[in-house]
Amino acid sequence: MILTCTSCGTRYSVDGSKFPAAGRTVRCAKCGHSWHQAGETAEGEPAPQPAAAPDVAADAPESDPGPSPTRSFAPMSVAAEPRAPMGPKIAAVAGWAGLFAVVLLIVGAAVRYRQDIVSIWPQSAGVYSSLGLHVNASGIDFRQVDYRRENEDGQVVLAVSGVIVNTGSRQLPVPQTVRVTLSDASSHEIYHWSFKPNTTVLAGGQSVPFVTRLASPPAAARHLEVRFAKDGS
């Protein structure tokens, strides 16, 4: 069976038994043109020809010099083609972008909720400290610590004030011993005393103020430190 491209006139010799009587769509391997090719009819009946197909043999010589190429049906294909899948490079870039977004979310949550994380896993406090992020392993911290000297009945009194705050989101117990330490210009301790906060627990984000006084503080005192201590220390 001879097929003739209706666009460029190239001829192909194919096995006619592969064409049903209703024909099928084929494509020229040379120019890419597609057309519907009818199958072979019964012997004695002329095969119908497309109305628009020119008689190449009568009007012009073959497009290629020499004998007409004889090709199998394999180079010719039906008109429908599957959509090409996404390129591997695009898929890889999309995958890395998604992974980067997930990592950012995890890091952001770890920084924002670091105090809660440390209260559950105290060992992580060292990691945050190495990154320059302040955390309190107990979840209870001091804020707005200040001091002033006052005169009461002709005697000098050192008043230390501040706020004890729960920096986490869960209710936490408050350590019951607060130690105030005074040190000299060389940071050597010269005196200390302790007091108890006026609460035993704080809800998440809750705070409570404190004030403690020392009569006749050492004149050499230059630095002050407030921290929680174990009972009796």
**8 lies in some domain:** yes
Q: Could you identify the residue written with the tokens 């929680």?
A: 228
| Distance of alpha carbon 1 from alpha carbon 177, whole angstroms | 104
Q: What residues make up the domain containing 180?
A: 140-228
**12 lies in some domain:** yes
Of 18, 44, 59, the residue that ends a domain is 59
Average pLDDT over residues 75-102: 68
Of 38, 59, 80, the residue that ends a domain is 59
The answer, yes or no, to whether residue 16 has pLDDT greater than 80, is no
Of 59, 85, 100, the residue that ends a domain is 59
- Residue 166: CB atoms within 10 A of its CB come to 25
Give the count of domains, the chain: 2
| Distance of alpha carbon 163 from alpha carbon 211, whole angstroms | 9
**207 lies in some domain:** yes
**90 lies in some domain:** no
**77 lies in some domain:** no
At residue 123 the predicted structure's pLDDT band, cuts being 50, 70 and 90, is low
CATH number of the domain at 184, please: 2.60.40
Average pLDDT over residues 10-38: 83
Over residues 129-168, the pLDDT tens digits come to 677 665 665 678 899 999 999 988 889 999 999 999 998 8
- Beta carbons of 137 and 122 less than 8 angstroms apart: yes
pTM for the whole structure: 0.43
**68 lies in some domain:** no
Q: Could you identify the residue written with the tokens 């020392």?
A: 214
**46 lies in some domain:** yes
**105 lies in some domain:** no
**CB-hemisphere CA count at 13 Å for 54?**
13
